[in-house]
Chains A and B, each alone.
Chain A
């Protein structure tokens, strides 16, 4: 191929030297954004706005339907919620659920930690973990409840058992895959410092894999919370006592539908609080500050 001919106009362009303006002389250094822009940039406000709109749609639809037995209005639900809280009926039940949940969640995480450590240090452990997670992740925890009731009877142990099952596998899987994907450079840096064994895991692997670990903890939490409510619907119906799930089932039996909705609302509120307050603040303090957040 022949090089294109150079046009005559490009023959001799003169050199060009220019003076730059000093940074302090610019007209706009920094200018605060307008109030509307500030408001629109606030994630919390945007999300609250969405919730308000959803509540409004609910209220309008329920009024239009005008059937308290099928869909009570939003205001009736809130009223039932407030009454249940004030009468002292709801909060102890919430506490019963949360207590069981925390025990199950913590034990699940502890077992996951042990299993992952085994999987990280040995090849057979890693095979074991991968096989077990592949087997058990598709198995809904609630499907184990009948078995747990036979093994452990109507005791909190049955609930703990299904909770551990729902927490263990997602947490272990995410933590393990987080460890595996820690970059070779960081591993070599850790070894270079003379870190070995558990100190190496604690000081290098865990922080380096923290984004995955946090994802695992979030998924584990969501699975556990769902499993617990579902388990309480069955468990409560059999034992005649229990937490939030029992509150829902019991009110359904006496056809107090606003209270059923109040129970569901509580489940949602707690879920939102944990996600947006607890997990979010952990996230801003760790992976966001470290520039490790993926989103």
Chain B
């Protein structure tokens, strides 16, 4: 008997308008996220995975289907679903690292100043930025900015953390380090997150469960379990990586030609 899912996305179709087109980003996508899962949404560029995450964030309403968090339909953005974006400019440049982390707690979390300060200290420490707590964002490197964004989101202790390719703009070495740190944080805190990425290797490393979306418009292709983090042989990850690769790019050539 399974517990109730934390997040329930049921048959969601998302459409948005560009200047002269109505684009269907995802078509009847459904999935469930349970507490403490590291749920990865994986797909090629333009499969609507970021749009899907924005819908969970409450930035756009589905044209079909609905999204429920703890049984409540999501209608607008809110601090119970903190987002971490890919862009480095997601920090408020007029606030120091500490102020950036404290701001959402103070502005709408209804958390008293003393507790907000204490939490900010804890989470800034967890992402190893205590030395930079009083610096302004423009003095930080890209990786440090992303760490602040993660600390800021986690300090709110949201129901679910929404990460939109947070490491995609980082260099390969920093990206690997950040993935390790994120997993360490998960071991420590056990938060729930949806992590959007287009890198198969990143999905396998970061995720506990992986949702595969087909290319435009995004539809569910499969929902797989990732390899266990410890005790798995390197081969297991490689086999899974190849399997996913095949599933994502298995489309026969004729079909691609016919669509173009």
| Closest B residue by C-beta to A204 | B92
Contact across chains for A291 and B93 when beta carbons are under 8 A apart: yes
Cα distance A55–B165 in the bound complex, in angstroms: 60
Chain A interface SS verdict (over half): helix
Verify if A81 is at the interface (C-beta below 8 Å from B).
Answer: no
Sorting the interface of chain B by its residue count into under 10, 10 to 19, 20 to 34 or 35 or more gives: 20 to 34
- Report the minimum CB–CB distance from B132 to chain A (whole Å): 14
Given contacts A193-B108, A194-B77, contact A185 B136 (CB under 8 A): no
B79 CB contact (under 8 Å) in A185, A193, A204, A292: A193
Question: In the complex, which residues 86-100 of chain B have their Cβ closer than 8 Å to any Cβ of chain A?
Answer: 87, 89-90, 92-94
| A291 to B138 CA separation, bound complex (whole angstroms) | 6
Q: Do residues A194 and B78 form an inter-chain contact, with CB atoms below 8 A?
A: yes
A52 within 8 A of partner (CB): no
Which B residue sits closest to A194, measured CB to CB? Answer: B108
Map CB proximity to B onto A200-244 as digits: 1 under 8 Å, 0 otherwise: 000110011010000000000000000000000000000000000
> Beyond A192-B83, A193-B107, is A186–B92 a contact (Cβ under 8 Å)?
yes
Measured CB to CB, the closest approach of chain B to A272, in angstroms, equals 28
- Nearest chain A residue, comparing its CB with the CB of B153: A192
Q: How many angstroms from the CA of A194 to the CA of B104 in the assembled complex?
A: 9
Whether B191 sits at the interface, judged by CB under 8 Å, is no
A:173-191 near B, CB below 8 Å: 183, 185-186, 188-189, 191
Asked if B77 contacts A186 (CB within 8 A), the reply is no
Tell me, yes or no, whether A84 is within 8 Å of chain B by CB. no
Q: Is the CB–CB distance between A188 and B108 below 8 Å?
A: no
Chain B residues with CB below 8 A from A188, complex form? 57, 59, 77, 83, 85
A residues in contact with B116, CB < 8 Å: none
Residues of B within 8 A of A193 (CB): 79, 103-104, 107-108
Q: Which of B59, B93, B107, B137 contacts A195 (CB 8 A)?
A: B107
Do B89 and A195 touch (CB < 8 A)?
Answer: no
- Chain B residues within 8 Å of A189, by CB: 83, 85, 90, 92
**How many of A's residues come within 8 Å of B, CB to CB?**
21
Output the least CB separation between B39 and chain A (Å).
19
Q: Which of A199, A210, A289 has the most CB of B within 10 A?
A: A289
Pairwise interchain contact A191-B77, C-beta atoms closer than 8 A = yes
Q: Does A286 contact B (CB under 8 A)?
A: yes
CB distance from A191 to the nearest CB of B (A): 4
A144-199 residues at the B interface, CB under 8 angstroms: 183, 185-186, 188-189, 191-195, 199
Contacts of B92 in A (CB 8 A): 186, 189, 204, 207-208
Chain A residues, Cβ within 8 Å of B136 = 289-291
Judge whether B90 and A290 touch: CB under 8 Å.
no
- A289 / chain B contacts, CB cutoff of 8 Å: 136
Instruction: Give residues 252-295 of A contacting B (CB, 8 Å).
Output: 286, 289-292
Contacts of B103 in A (CB 8 A): 193
- With a cutoff of 8 Å between Cβ atoms, the chain A residues found around residue B108 in the complex are 193-195
Contacting residues, chain A, for B107 (C-beta < 8 A)? 193-195, 199, 203
Q: A193-B107, A290-B94 are in contact. Are A185 and B85 (CB under 8 A)?
A: yes
B55 on the A face (CB < 8 A): no
Q: Is B89 a contact of A192 with CB atoms below 8 Å?
A: no
Does B47 have its Cβ within 8 Å of any Cβ on chain A?
no
Q: How far is the CA of A286 from the CA of B136 in the complex (A)?
A: 11
Contact pattern, B 55-93, Cβ under 8 Å of A = 1, otherwise 0: 001010000000000000000111101110101011011
- Expressed in whole angstroms, the minimum distance between the Cβ of B67 and any Cβ of chain A is 16
Residues of chain B within 8 A of A203, CB atoms compared: 107
Q: Tell me the smallest distance from the CB of A188 to a CB of chain B, in Å.
A: 6
Assembled-state Cα–Cα distance A193/B152 (Å): 11
24 residue pairs of the A-B complex, CB under 8 angstroms, read A183-B87, A185-B87, A185-B89, A186-B89, A186-B90, A188-B77, A188-B85, A189-B83, A191-B59, A191-B76, A191-B77, A192-B78, A192-B82, A192-B104, A193-B104, A194-B77, A194-B79, A194-B107, A199-B107, A207-B94, A208-B93, A286-B94, A290-B136, A292-B138
Beyond contacts A185-B89, A189-B90, A290-B136: 7 other A-B pairs, Cβ-Cβ < 8 A, are A185-B87, A186-B90, A188-B59, A188-B77, A189-B85, A194-B79, A291-B136
